[in-house]
Amino acid sequence: MPQTIPELQDREFVFTDKDFQHISELVGQKVGIVLAEHKKNMVYSRLARRLRAQGYKHFSDYLKFLQSDAGQDELVEFVNAITTNLTHFFREGHHFDHLRDVIIPEWLNHPRSRRIRIWSAGCSAGMEPYSIAMVLHQAIPNLKNWDIKILATDIDTNMLDTGVRGEYDMQAAERIPRMYQKYVEPIAGTDKASMAKEIRPLIAFKKLNLLESWPVKGPFDVVFCRNVVIYFSKDTQRVVFDRFASVMPSGSTLFIGHSENLFNITTKFASKGKTIYQRVA
């Protein structure tokens, strides 16, 4: 008989070691995330509301449903529940400083076609691409004369919906540096703020799974992929960064998360500072 995870015995739903193993395999297959043993409580708490919504009492029955044709829509909700979405505006601020102080001046001093493409991969609720848009709008004169687009992708459809709406709690918006507060528009009668209409057209939000086919060709001048691959195995990281390299020309810039590095992962990027890399030929 399958063994119930001891610390979860008295909870609402039956959750066994076999269930956790099945979930770990499914998550690894679908999104590349490696779920360690200590994540069992987290998995239970995040998926419990999905069992409630679907009317199941056993994780095993819920998992069978996910594998059925009828469960394909629920599979999207399953992925949404498992993925981590910790984010805030101007997170790891030195990246945005580098964009403003190093990359943009290079574009301005050596204009090419004025076509700029930036990819925010794993954009979560959209705070990262909106932060990028604020920097671009502030730092590039006559922005309307440039062809600039920010592709913002994530696997979590709920987070993407938030990004499309561009509305955030005022408490979150207050973390935006003062020099960019002009892009924050309080919504009357609420505790929320909306991103300014000047920066919204710069961003296109799309669902994308980094492990599946990429309906994007690039070339991308800048890629933000921060605190995403930390949940992947080393082999999966190698595949993902090689794919990024394939859509980035020599000299383009890659930003990764503070807990990530490319050591023994790829030779296609050279370090240019703290978690800042440049594509090499």
The span from the CA of 221 to the CA of 30, in Å, is: 28
The span from the CA of 124 to the CA of 205, in Å, is: 10
The span from the CA of 230 to the CA of 179, in Å, is: 31
At 56 the three-state DSSP class reads coil
Please, is 189 exposed, middle or buried when counting C-beta atoms within 10 Å of its C-beta (0-12, 13-18, 19+)?
exposed
37 neighbors 78 (Cβ within 8 angstroms): no
The span from the CA of 194 to the CA of 6, in Å, is: 45
The span from the CA of 33 to the CA of 158, in Å, is: 19
35 neighbors 27 (Cβ within 8 angstroms): yes
DSSP-assigned beta bridge partners for residue 255 = 224, 276
Active site (catalytic) residues:
46, 154
260 neighbors 275 (Cβ within 8 angstroms): yes
**CA 105 vs CA 97, 98, 100, 180, 245: distances in Å:** 12, 10, 7, 19, 23
